[in-house]
Every structure is written in structure tokens, then in C-alpha cells.
Chains A and B, each alone.
Chain A
Amino acid sequence: MSNSKNGSSCSRRTVLKSGAAITAASTMPMFYVKDAWAAKDFRNNPGNASTVKFGFNVPQSGPYADEGADELRAYKLAVKHLNGEGDGGMLNTMKPLSLKGNGVLGKKVEYVTGDTQTKSDAARASAKRMIEKDRVVMYSGGSSSGVAIAQQSLAQEMGVIFMCGLTHSNDTTGKDKRRYGFRHFFNAYMSGVALGPVLEKEYGKERRAYHLTADYTWGWTQEESIKNTTEGLGWETVKTVKTPVGAGDFSQYITPVLNSGADVLILNHYGKDMINSLTQAIQFGLRDKQVNGKDFQIVVPLFSRLMAQGAGENIKGILGSTGWNWALSDAGSQAFVKSFGQEYGFPPSQAAHTCYVQTLLYANACEMAGTFYPPEVIKQLEDFEFDGMGNGKTLYRGADHQCFKDVLVVRGNQNPSSQFDLLEIVQEVPRSKFEYDPAIFGGELGPYEV
């Protein structure tokens, strides 16, 4: 008896409560409709606020975590410089420059961070949090092309600009390009073109290549580009094998290489994957072998200093390409290396460089456009030509949002003078060598207004 009585008094209250709640819920859509009207000018308009927010979405866990950590350092440094703190870094060397060192359009820059976990789902969830909750006007980050492409298409859906960090797949500015996505980093096609003559000079025209390829968009396109280049030289492709990302143990993929009759192993791997596969290949004695009367060679088409650091001794003498290196002597690179070194005590990686530059480029485009309204900012970035940010004169091509700048062919340093002096620059390949027709990769940018 007492039980049911208690129950009914409780329910009366809950009915009242839930009634109130339902009323609130039914009025709610109107708030959002109003909000939607206000936001019609564009999403996350900072309006009269004194600050503006950027989102930095990098891998903090997984096989690309080292790159992610370095990217984040670069982003923080870029924000500092934009706000007029520190020594200004590349703001002193960038030409043409509209930034004044007082934030962007007079608004102080703030930032939020997120972990992509190198997974498309997690990256999009994190990016959506930045856009919907933290109301960022731009987000950036990278290290996996699959993730970058997923975020770039989200950018188009949401109408918020995404400045790609490190992503090297041809698809990013090829078949999956978007109006709201921009890439400063070079791509696999450029790696192939840059590496070709050097490979020919060093290893000759008669070689048999075996590819191990990370099984996703970047690996696929890099394999294709390198294959095209080497087959153009007259090399034969023995076999191409796809390996899962983050495999850890590559021995089962390396053993067959020994008996395949190949004399060059091409590792289309990146980050910790490349460190593991290269180390294991060397442990298996591949480089000490003689096949077809030639020394066995290993090529890593996309190199970075962070990877060289991880692979240690094994990297010595191995050829690859890289977008930027801290040892470059131009004023922009020097200014960036100096302020990064002062802040963190070691030189930046190529991932850090591209992320830093991307942040500055976006901010500069807003300053030029005089607004954060994305279509106007996009128009400023398209076909923007600049200098003083490393890699010489650089063009942001409007047709596919790909930057064209010089690419470096590097070799693992035989006698490093310091723990960071790991890559020796073999050749700086000028951008004119690989200015390809944007039509070859297909894809469509999509509309300015979304």
C-alpha cells in the first residue's frame, strides 16, 4: 500500500517536471532556427568578438603520433607569432605579407586541439567538436592522407576551411580535392618526378623493384607514381604488396623479397611503419646482399627527419624525397628554425614546417580579404604566389589547391655532425620540373558557397 502511494506522489512530480521539459523542448527548435538565420552569413562568424579560434587536429596516438606532436608545436608557435609574441619567425621573411602581428584582423588568435587517433571517424568527430562546440573559423592538421581527405570533405559540408597538414597522397588535391581544403605539402607525383633522375644516376637503368605499400590512399598513389617513374627509366616492377597501417611486424612481408629476384626494395611507408619496416629489412641483411650482380638497395620515397631519427643507423645512405629540411639556408627557413629551436630546443620537422606555413597562409589570406567569410578567403588563397617561407617562390594553384614549390631529394647522412643532422640534401628539384596538368588526377573542387 505505502509503496503505491509513494509511487504516485513521485510520479505526479515527475509528470510535472517532464511536462515542463517537453514544453522547453518544443520551443527549442525556434532558438536554432533563429541561430541558423543569424549564421546565414557564414558558419562560426566571429562577429565582434575580440578573439578568433583555430582548431588543430593532429594524431596524438597511433603510428603517426611523433609527427602529430611536432605539428602541434608548430601550430602553437604560429599562433604566438600571429599574436605578435616571440620573435615573429617567418612573419619577418614572408612576401607579400598583410599580417600585422596583432592577431588576425585585429582579433587575438586562440586555439583548440584534438586527437585524430589516425582514424577517419575519430578525426571527423574531433573536427565536428571544434566546429560545432568551439566554433573555430579554420581547422588544420594531418599526417595521414586518408584522415586528411575525410576531414577535407567534412570542411566542404560544414563550410569551414581545412588547411591540410602533412598529407602526401595525390588524391588530396586530385580526385578528392575540395573547395574548402588546401594543401601546402608536396605530393607523391612530385616525389616520383624528383626522385627519377637521381635514381637513374645512382642505380642505373636496369633494376628490378619490389614495392611494400601502406594499404590506403597515400600508399596507393605513391606506389603508382613511383612505379610510373621507375618503369619510365626502364626498371621492372617485380611485385607490389600492400601492408596494413600500423602493422608493427613486417617480417612476413620482407621474407619473400629475398627470393623474388628483386634488387631494389621500395618502402611506401611512413612514420613508425617506415621505421619498423626499414629496420627489419636491414636486420634481414637485405642491404648486404648482391642480386643480379648488383648491390641490393632500399628506397624510401617519402622521408622525414623524425623517421630518420627513429630508424637511427639504418637510414644511412638511403635515398628519398622530402618537402623541407631544417638545414635549408634561405632566410625563411632560417627564421623558422631559429624561433622553433628557441622555443623547444631542437629543429622542426617537415611536418612542423608545413603546418606552421599553412596557419600563416590562412591568417594572411583573411587579412588580405578583410573578412573571415570563407569564399572570400578561398579566393585570396587561390593562385596566391608567395616567397620567403622556405622552398623558394611558391604558388597556391587555384585549379586544385595544390602548392607548387621546390622539392628536396635527400640521402641518409653517412657522417652526421649532430643528432639532428641526419639527412643530406642531394638535389633541390625546382618546381618547374613537375608542374603537371591538374586534369590528370580528375576530381572537382565544388562550390564556394555551401
Chain B
Amino acid sequence: MMNKPKEMNELLLILIFSAVVLTMPIWLSPLGAAYPDLLQKFAIFGVFAIGYNILFGLTGYLSFGHAAFLGVGSYTAVWSFKLLSMNVLPAVMFSVVLAGLFAAVIGFVSLRRSGIYFSILTLAFAQMSYNLAYSVLTPITNGETGLQLAKEDPRILDSAVVDGLPSTNFFGIELQGFSGFYFCAAFLILGFIIALRIFRSPFGLKLRAIKTNQTRMRYTGFSTRPYLLTAFVISGMYAGLAGALMACTDPLAGAERMQWTASGEVVLMTILGGVGTLFGPLLGVGIIKYFENIFSAINEQALHAIFDFLPTWLEEFMVLITHPFVGEGWHLTLGLLFMLTVAFLPGGVMEGIDYIKKKMSSKDTDETEGTSTTKTAEEGSSS
């Protein structure tokens, strides 16, 4: 696993990744997912999950409170829109910095413990932030209603007066629809490059060593906490960036972004896709967001349309048995999928892909016996 990615040229990997991300509007359209809002969600949650994976995937510290940083990022961005300018650049910068500071504080306290105690501490902090945003800090967060733009906001850097509410822009480019997606995608690619460098750096190796055996690491003379805190802050900044991007594409921030279910969602995404792998969390994001947005919208009418080709009685029957699993029941399907993944593929979807790859390459081996026996042996050891 560890030396395998090194064999793949970094530049090439980045190029392929960028191409895949930027062509999403094309290859996702047969799946009915190529509309701007969902594409933006893919990219934004991709950033979130990549960042989360730097902490959870590399160090093994399971944080249950990352939604708090997402929320901080969103609120900061919306306040930047309200007070400074509708340009997204300051919003993104402030969000990342503030989320990083916030993460440093929470990380400093939480990282004094490890394992389950760390998880509980982060969960407690996140829930605390959520409740603060929901009630006590209502003047800043506008509570349950959510923080929104208003026409009378100062916006000291913007001079132009518009009819109605202004929209977010990046030096004049309005960030709605597909331009919003490409903006988020650019950050996803940037985030991916940074994560890739971290994964392959000595710093990443140290984080992995913490995951493998922290005690031994300490015996060799390393103080592990600064590394852990750095990883925590970096992943918090990623979450802040994701929160800012959410606000950029849709200038509204609500407290529910900080709820524990939102923290749980990114854990699910990472585990479903494959913890500690570069691409796994992104696959997890894709699957969960697809379910949430597409599966949840299939109603009885749509099912009838799908099974239209069957004879009437069979159509009715198929609609009857599939109906509980789509529409309102999308959580049920997702739960089943998650259970199956954890039971049979503990390494997530990435483990499944590796397994298929191995099967394919061993088939190759049978055909061209002898020449590549060393290769299969290597692959076997690497995964």
C-alpha cells in the first residue's frame, strides 16, 4: 500500500485527477447527477473528506467533531459577504484561517487523549458549538433560521448598488451554476495536491507511524503531539474551506451544518470509500451525496416509469418491493450498503477495487505465465 503510490508519477496522477474532476459534468450526466448543485456538493464534500482523511486516515484519530469547523467556515464566509465584499476570495481566506485557529484550540485540548476519549471530546466540542450557534450566539448566527444576506448589509468594499440581493462573485464571475462548480473543483484539485504531498512526505510517514504504534514512536525520541496537532489543524482548515465554499455557492449558513449528524456523515464517507487511501473518501462522498440527492427523489411515479416495460402486475409488484428502499427510504438503502461494506470490505470501496485489480492481474499472470510472477508477489505484499 505504502510504496505503491510512489510508483505512479505524481504529475500524471494530478493530471488524471484534474481531468476526471473537471469532466464530471460529462461523465455524470448518464447517471442523472450532472446538475450544478450536486456537482458543487461533490466537490465541496470532496474537500471536506480529503481533509478529514489526513487526520483519520493517517493518524487513526477518529474525530467526531469536524462539522464544527465546517460551520465556522460557513459563518465566517457569510459574515465576510455581509461586512466586506461579495468577492469570495476574502471569504475563503478568513474562513480557512479562522477554522484553523478554532481547530488549534479544540485540538490542543482534545489531543491530550487518544482513542475513544479523543472521539468523545471532539464530539462534545462540536455539539457545544452547535448548541451555541443554535441558541446563545443567535445574534451572530441567527439561530435556526440561519445567517442570510440582507440588502442593508454594509459591504464596505463593494460600492455598486444592485437591485435586489447581490450574488457572490470571483472578480466579476458569478459563482452560480457551473462556474460555481469549477471554482469548487479548482479547490478540490488544489486540496488533493496538498493531500498527495502530505501523504508522500516524511511528515505523512510520521503520522502513519503514530497510527501504527505511538508508544514506540515516543520511545525513539519523537514528541508526537505537535505532529498530531498539525494534522488536526490542517484537516480543520480543509473543513473550514469546505464550509466557505458552501457559503460561496449558496450564501447562507445554518446551525445544522454543525450538528453531530454532519460530523458523522464525513466519517461514513471516509469509511465507506476507504480509510487512509487517497481516492477512497472521494468515492464515499460520491456515493453518499448521490444517494441523498438522487435516490431520495425517486417517488412512486418515477418507479412506475422505470418499470414501465414490465407487464402491469409485475410492474406493480416491482414498485411495491422497491418503494421502501427509495424516496423517503434512502437512508435504509444507504444503511444496508454501509453494513455490507463494513462486513465484507473493511477497507471500503477501495479495497473492493484493489481486489478486482488483483483478480485481473492474476488472470494476466495465468496467460503470460512466468514473466510477471514477481509483480503479483509485489502487488500482494503491497496491499
Contacts and interface: CB of A to CB of B under 8 A. Distances in A.
A225 B341 CA distance: 53
Interface string A176-195: 10010000000000000000
B316 interface: no
Contacts of A153: 148, 165, 252
Contact of A157 (B8, B134, B167, B302): B167
A158 to B, nearest CB: 8
Interface stretch (A113-121, A315-323, A409-417): A113-121
Q: How large is the interface on B (under 10, 10 to 19, 20 to 34, 35 or more residues)?
A: 35 or more
Interface stretch (B18-26, B108-116, B209-217): B18-26
B301 interface: yes
Interface stretch (A20-28, A282-290, A324-332, A420-428): A20-28
A154 B254 CA distance: 15
Given A24-B23, A128-B37, A150-B146, A157 B176 contact: yes
A18 B134 contact: no
A4 B35 CA distance: 40
Contacts, number: 138
Interface in A415-450: 444, 446-447, 450
B245 to A, nearest CB: 13
B161 to A, nearest CB: 13
Given A2-B371, A115-B328, A444 B151 contact: yes
B151 A146 contact: no
Given A2-B372, A111-B301, A129-B293, A215 B134 contact: yes
Nearest to B162: A447
B22 A25 contact: yes
A395 B146 CA distance: 31
Do most interface residues of chain A lie in helix, strand or loop, or is the interface mixed? helix
Given A119-B256, A150-B252, A156 B164 contact: yes
Contacts of B16: 14, 18
B374 interface: yes
A150 B41 CA distance: 18
B12 A15 contact: yes
A119 B254 contact: yes
Given A124-B250, A153-B165, A25 B19 contact: yes
B256 A121 contact: yes
Interface in A212-266: 215-217, 242, 244-245
A343 interface: no
B297 A244 contact: no
B12 to A, nearest CB: 6
A16 to B, nearest CB: 11
A24 B20 CA distance: 11
A215 B26 contact: no
B37 A113 contact: no
A133 B254 CA distance: 24
A9 interface: no
A22 to B, nearest CB: 5
Contact of A120 (B135, B146, B176): B146
B375 A114 contact: no
B367 interface: no
A112 B375 contact: no
A369 B256 CA distance: 40
A237 to B, nearest CB: 20
Q: Which 5 A-B pairs have the closest CB atoms?
A: A216-B144, A128-B37, A446-B164, A132-B35, A133-B35
Given A125-B41, A129-B293, A146-B144, 15 more contacts: A14-B16, A15-B15, A21-B22, A28-B23, A28-B26, A112-B299, A125-B292, A129-B297, A133-B35, A145-B145, A149-B148, A150-B148, A150-B254, A216-B143, A444-B151
Interface of B: 7-9, 12, 15-16, 19-20, 22-23, 25-26, 32, 35-38, 41, 134-135, 138, 143-146, 148, 151, 163-165, 167, 176-178, 250, 252, 254, 256-257, 292-293, 296-297, 299, 301-302, 327-328, 371-372, 374-375, 378
